[in-house]
């Protein structure tokens, strides 16, 4: 198992490396010149060349990439803005802030948003999905299925503003969504995020409801589940001990992918509610052709997805002894 994890981690490092190359090449393929954006209205060729020099854009692409890698691993003191310890993605072209510092500033927002929502949608989704499977064919099942169908076809940019309009601007029942530091003020942290959580998890939960339901129903038709019933084990026992165990595999898989993707930045949600998370940062970095920031956000998101892929694989081993013992 440990070997497996080590092998997977090495593999993930290789993927990140390749990804950084692709990102580099894509950036230089972009039609916009970041120097021009910084140069302002009174741009002379000499100014532009100077900016290019300061940003290091006058060097060849491989050379720039080498410097990027070197800084990332060993850190650098070669920046005008100040020292940059490893992992160093350099300084943002746009804000002149250290990229890693910016990422770490934005991360708590995304983590709070994602984990809060994930707890909600996992419990609500699995709960309703399993209830639906348990009561298969009844009115409860049909109601849950229909509700999940409707909600899963909703979009954040539709439900989000709707909720804001109804719950915040019209009735003033809730605070305007905002990120407040948890350690400083847990209550306002909670009240500031409650609407984004509910909206984000509504949409995700409906998918988990459907997945949990179909996965449970599929498992309940497995032969080993029938064997357990044939032994006289109660319906409840068989449902929670036998069918539930097998239905976890697809759920964990999707949950891992979703969580990894969300932690890399819930772009639409953050935009809709104006939360300063990684997703918002990613869009900003593209808008300003901010290479260091773009690379930072992108590799961080990718690392999250890869990390959760590895966690999912490790979970398989806990769930299924066939994985563990082979």
Site residues (vs other proteins, CB under 8 A)? 3, 6-7, 10, 136-137, 222-235, 241-242, 245-246, 319-322, 325
Residue by residue, DSSP assigns 211-244 as HHHHHHHHHHTSHHHHHHHHTT--HHHIIIIIIH
- 272's tokens: 């809709």
Closer by beta carbon to other proteins, 114 or else 215: 215
**CB of 230: closest distance to other proteins in angstroms?**
4
Within 10 Å of residue 316's Cβ, how many Cβ atoms? 16
Closer by beta carbon to other proteins, 2 or else 173: 2
The Cα–Cα gap between 19 and 15 comes to: 6
**CB of 160: closest distance to other proteins in angstroms?**
39
Backbone angles phi, psi at 76, to 5 degrees: -155, 150
- 208's tokens: 């988990």
Within 10 Å of residue 12's Cβ, how many Cβ atoms? 17
The Cα–Cα gap between 231 and 225 comes to: 10
**CB of 246: closest distance to other proteins in angstroms?**
7
Instruction: Using alpha carbons, select from 63, 66, 86, 61 the residue that is nearest to residue 76.
Output: 86
Closer by beta carbon to other proteins, 45 or else 137: 137
Tell me which residue has tokens 């916009």.
32
- DSSP class of residue 85? P
The Cα–Cα gap between 179 and 108 comes to: 9
**CB of 134: closest distance to other proteins in angstroms?**
13
Instruction: Using alpha carbons, select from 108, 106, 101 the residue that is nearest to residue 292.
Output: 101
Closer by beta carbon to other proteins, 189 or else 239: 239
Closer by beta carbon to other proteins, 218 or else 320: 320
Tell me which residue has tokens 């300084």.
91
**CB of 6: closest distance to other proteins in angstroms?**
7
- 9's tokens: 């981690």
**CB of 274: closest distance to other proteins in angstroms?**
45
Q: What angle separates helix 99-134 from helix 278-287, to the nearest 10 degrees? A: 130
In whole angstroms, how large is the CA radius of gyration of the chain?
24
Under a CB-based contact definition with an 8 Å cutoff, are residues 256 and 312 in contact?
yes
**CB of 306: closest distance to other proteins in angstroms?**
18
**CB of 234: closest distance to other proteins in angstroms?**
6
Closer by beta carbon to other proteins, 94 or else 229: 229
30: three-class secondary structure by DSSP: coil
Closer by beta carbon to other proteins, 72 or else 238: 238
Closer by beta carbon to other proteins, 125 or else 246: 246
């Amino acid at each position: 198992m440990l070997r497996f994890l080590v092998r997977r981690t090495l593999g993930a490092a290789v993927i990140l490396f390749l990804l950084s190359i692709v990102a580099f090449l894509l950036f230089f393929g972009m039609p916009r010149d970041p120097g021009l954006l910084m140069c302002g209205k009174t741009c002379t060729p000499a100014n532009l060349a100077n900016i290019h020099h300061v940003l290091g854009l006058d060097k060849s692409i491989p050379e720039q990439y080498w410097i990027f890698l070197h800084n990332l691993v060993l850190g650098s003191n070669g920046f005008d803005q100040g020292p940059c310890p490893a992992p160093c993605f350099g300084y943002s072209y746009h804000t002149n802030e250290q990229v890693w510092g910016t990422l770490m500033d934005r991360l708590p927002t995304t983590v709070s948003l994602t984990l809060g929502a994930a707890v909600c949608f996992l419990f609500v989704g699995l709960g309703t999905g399993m209830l639906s499977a348990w009561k298969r064919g009844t009115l409860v099942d049909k109601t849950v299925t229909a509700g999940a169908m409707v909600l899963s076809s909703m979009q954040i940019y539709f439900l989000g503003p709707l909720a804001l309009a109804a719950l915040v601007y019209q009735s003033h029942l809730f605070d305007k969504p905002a990120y407040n530091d948890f350690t400083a003020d847990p209550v306002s942290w909670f009240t500031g995020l409650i609407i984004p959580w509910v909206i984000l998890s509504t949409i995700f939960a409906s998918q988990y409801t459907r997945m949990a339901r179909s996965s449970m129903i599929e498992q309940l038709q497995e032969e080993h589940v029938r064997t357990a019933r044939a032994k006289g084990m109660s319906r409840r026992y068989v449902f929670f001990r036998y069918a539930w165990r097998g239905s976890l595999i697809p759920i964990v898989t999707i949950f891992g992918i979703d969580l990894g993707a969300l932690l890399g930045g819930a772009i639409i949600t953050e935009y809709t509610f104006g939360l300063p998370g990684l997703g918002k940062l990613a869009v900003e970095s593209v808008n300003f052709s901010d290479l260091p920031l773009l690379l930072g956000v992108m590799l961080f998101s990718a690392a999250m997805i890869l990390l959760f892929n590895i966690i999912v694989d490790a979970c398989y081993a806990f769930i299924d002894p066939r994985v563990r013992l082979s």
